[in-house]
Amino acid sequence: INILAFESSCDETSVAVVQDGKTILSNIIATQIKSHQRFGGVVPEVASRHHVEQIIHCTQLALQEAHIKYEQLAAVAVTYGPGLVGSLLVGLMAAKAVSWAHDLPLIGVNHLAGHIYAANLVKSLQYPALALVVSGGHTELVRVSAPGQFHILGDTRDDAVGEAYDKVGRLLGVKYPAGKTLDQWAHEGQDTYDFPRAMLQEDNLDFSFSGIKSAVINTLHHAQQIGAPINKKDVATSFQNDVLDILVTKTKRALAQYPCAQLIVAGGVAANSGLRERLTAELTPQVELIFPPLRLCGDNAAMIGAYAAVAYQQRNFSDLTLNADPSLDFAYQTED
Ligand code: ATP
Ligand code: FE
Ligand code: MG
């Protein structure tokens, strides 16, 4: 079955055609990064306007590139949260219009379920699986007990890890989004600064990244006051090492508590080469690691189409009253 999928939760307008949740026939991604860079982050109103301008063209391109006509589609899928409400609404309106005009079932998809099921485009998921979701807005350890069954095991108490990268990057004068550059610098500098690794010793699966961000701010301010030089690459190396210590330690703890055959690393920060190296070195062959290719780590509609195939099989359809839910999230694990 072919599913037409829409993703517009943040600053990427994306439309894809995915076959059987496994094969990408097309995955058009129009990024708005250039429009937001001068503001140092995403401006919601600007984002919504760009989505409006881009979405029809992206839809046409997606169908054209896939060589698929509306009659060959089985369903239309769309991200309905979490994300920016104005941005989400544009994708929702487009998906509903296609659904109504072509009499196709509508499938509302949780953006984070999409990030996790990007892994299914690479390898068939085995259940239960553990997902480390690391993105611009989220840092969660999620147990996937069965297709479409998600349980949060641990979450961030404050900043998301991608947000911490972007804020530290901004302090160091790196353009938004800063993750990729800091990752590069981290491989070129030395670990000379000591930043706190919050909640590492605490016996839970939660994260905190605001302390490490404040420590970087204080270090830079202090150096400025006393006129000491700052080695930006060393700051990046020290910051990344501390962040990776936290992510890897908590992931290992989750695997010890909830044994799984597969570990899925999902979200924009899954592109981090240091994270890939460390998890591979420390967790194979204990678990099978799935890192989606870089293009599928960031926001894209193919991942939404990948998850939509699960919802389609379960006949989990939405109607035209489907609304945007900016703070949509999974439920916490309760049973043990
Ligand atoms: P969410 O998915 O939580 O709604 P989002 O969609 O804005 O948030 P993504 O697009 O999934 O987030 O990820 C973007 C984030 O990934 C940015 O914060 C960016 O800095 C970060 N990022 C991208 N590449 C890297 C990298 N190599 N190392 C670290 N961070 C990275
Ligand atoms: Fe995302
Ligand atoms: Mg993004």
Is residue 135 marked as binding?
yes
Taking alpha carbons only, the member of 237, 31, 274 closest to residue 134 is 274
Q: Is 291 touching ligand 1 by the criterion CB < 6 Å?
A: no
DSSP letter at 318 equals: B
Provide the CB-side half-sphere exposure for 331 (13 A, CA). 6
pLDDT of residue 17: 98
Alpha helices in 67-84, H assignment, sequence order: none
- Annotated ligand binding at 166? The verdict is yes
The closest ligand to the CA of 160 turns out to be 1
Ligand 3 centroid vs 334 CA: distance in angstroms?
31
So what's the ipTM on this one? 0.97
Tell which one of 175, 269, 297 to mutate to probe ligand 1, the residue whose CB is within 8 A of the most ligand atoms: 269
- Report the SS3 class of residue 326: coil
Identify which of 291, 296, 295 has the alpha carbon closest to the alpha carbon of residue 279.
291
Predicted TM-score (pTM) above 0.80:
yes
- Ligand 3 centroid, distance to 267 Cα (angstroms): 9
The answer to whether residues 5 and 300 touch, using CB atoms and an 8 Å cutoff, is no
161 lines ligand 1 (CB under 6 A): no
Give the span between the Cα atoms of 118 and 280, in whole angstroms: 19
- In this predicted structure, what is the pLDDT of residue 212? 94
The residue whose CA is least distant from atom 20 of ligand 1 is 179
CA dist., res. 17 & res. 64, Å (int): 10
DSSP 15: E
Tokens (6 digits) for 313? 């099989």
Structure tokens at 99: 């659904």
Q: Position 123: which residue type?
A: K
Q: Which pLDDT score, from 0 to 100, does residue 336 have?
A: 56
C-alpha to C-alpha distances, 35 to 31, 98, 167, 268, nearest whole angstrom: 9, 28, 18, 19
Amino acid at the residue 195: F
Residues 318 and 105: their CA atoms lie apart, in Å, by: 8
Rg of the chain over Cα atoms, rounded to whole angstroms, equals 20
pLDDT at 202: 85
- For 160-235, list the strands marked E by DSSP: none
CA–CA gap between residue 157 and residue 278 (Å, rounded):
24
Any ligand 1 atom below 6 A from CB of 298: yes
CA angle, residues 167, 168, 171, in degrees to nearest 5: 90
Q: Is the CB of 179 under 6 A from ligand 1?
A: yes
Q: What is the pLDDT of residue 330?
A: 96
Which stretch of DSSP H or E encloses residue 214?
helix 210-226
Dihedral (Cα; 323, 268, 215, 246), 10-degree rounding: 100
Calculate how far, in angstroms, residue 96's C-alpha sits from the geometric centre of ligand 1: 28
Determine the residue type at 198. Answer: A
Please tell me the distance between residue 153's alpha carbon and the centre of ligand 1 in angstroms.
21
pLDDT-flagged residues of the chain (< 50): none
